[in-house]
Amino acid sequence: MSLIKVVDLSKTYDNEGVKTEAVKKVSFNIEKGEFVSIMGPSGSGKSTLMHVLGLLDRPSGGKYFLDGENTSELTDNQLARLRNKKIGFVFQAFNLLPRTTVFENVELPLVYDQKANTNNSRRVMSALRSVGIENRANYFSNQLSGGEKQRVAIARALVNDPEVIFADEPTGNLDSKTGVQVMEILEGLNRHGHTIILVTHETITASYANRIIKILDGSLVSDRAVSEKKRQLAEQRKKIK
């Protein structure tokens, strides 16, 4: 059974009678443990697709199964619980709470977890260690560099041990060297069994994945394994370090 299965998935926005098809009858499967890039230019529909797959928005048509569950049959509250349990997010803008410590930012998803308990501290510190930033646990988010903020965001995505991590342009606000470090963290998480879905417009960043799904004007135009040539491009980028 696939972790993610979408069949003729569509998303249409209606703005005062003007309809815009952001995603048009897209179909694909993603298996547990894959590292997949969803790639396309600005306005292609890739971020809209991620929002639907991440249960942040509902599709207008088609079907979306997450770990075998038909998400269209769920209420908003059920979707919220499923999202908190099975999905972690890493965004380009980090989305950390200001004037809040690193520890508190990472702990936030556990606040909404009914099973969360006194083990929160252990889980938070384990997530911080996994991205190499446990020494910043008591720092405030505004005291961190961009790369450190993204590490915190990744730790927050990990703290609930989700089935899948969505990373939306995670290197977009970072310099090249720091971007490489963040991508290597995502690579390492994938090697340890985490499913990673990366949304990007950058060819080299996309090439860290094992598979690239290309979206153009809302439609799926290709779905291919990453070639050896593209892997070499990613390796060349690592040499920036």
pLDDT digits (tens, 9 = 90+) for 73-96: 999 999 998 998 899 999 988 899
Tokens 């965004």 -> residue: 91
91-187-55-61 Cα dihedral, nearest 10 degrees: 110
Residue 58 has pLDDT above 80, yes or no: yes
Please tell me the predicted confidence (pLDDT) of residue 17: 81
The average pLDDT across 36-60 equals 94
Alpha helices in 115-221 (DSSP H): 120-130, 146-158, 176-191, 203-206
The average pLDDT across 162-178 equals 91
Residue 235 has pLDDT above 70, yes or no: no
Indicate the length of the chain as a whole number: 241
Please tell me the predicted confidence (pLDDT) of residue 234: 60
Please tell me the predicted confidence (pLDDT) of residue 236: 63
Q: What is the token pair recorded at 91?
A: 């965004």
Residue 233 has pLDDT above 90, yes or no: no
What is the per-residue pLDDT across 106-160, written as a single tens digit (0 to 9) for each?
A: 998 887 665 556 688 999 999 999 999 999 999 999 999 999 999 999 999 999 9
Q: Please state, rounded to an integer, the average pLDDT across all residues of the chain.
A: 90
Contacts of 223 (CB under 8 A, 6+ apart): 28, 211, 212, 213, 214
> Hey, what amino acid is at 202?
E
Please tell me the predicted confidence (pLDDT) of residue 23: 96
Contacts of 113 (CB under 8 A, 6+ apart): 84, 85, 160
Per-residue DSSP letter, 210: S
Sign of CA dihedral 139, 156, 231, 212: negative
The average pLDDT across 172-178 equals 88
Exposure string for 177-195, b = 16+ CB within 10 A, e = fewer: ebbbbbbebbbebbeeebb
pLDDT-derived band at 62 (thresholds 50, 70, 90) equals: very high
Please tell me the predicted confidence (pLDDT) of residue 227: 72
Helix (H, G, I), strand (E, B) or coil at 114: coil
> Hey, what amino acid is at 205?
T
pTM score:
0.89
Please tell me the predicted confidence (pLDDT) of residue 98: 87
Please tell me the predicted confidence (pLDDT) of residue 119: 81
Please tell me the predicted confidence (pLDDT) of residue 232: 65
The average pLDDT across 191-210 equals 92
Contacts of 50 (CB under 8 A, 6+ apart): 38, 166, 168, 197, 199
Contact between 200 and 39 under an 8 Å Cβ cutoff? The reply is yes
Q: Which of 7-16, 156-165, 185-194, 222-231 has the lowest mean pLDDT?
A: 222-231
Q: Which of 29-33, 151-155, 169-173 has the lowest mean pLDDT?
A: 169-173
Beta bridge partners of 215: 220
Please tell me the predicted confidence (pLDDT) of residue 241: 52
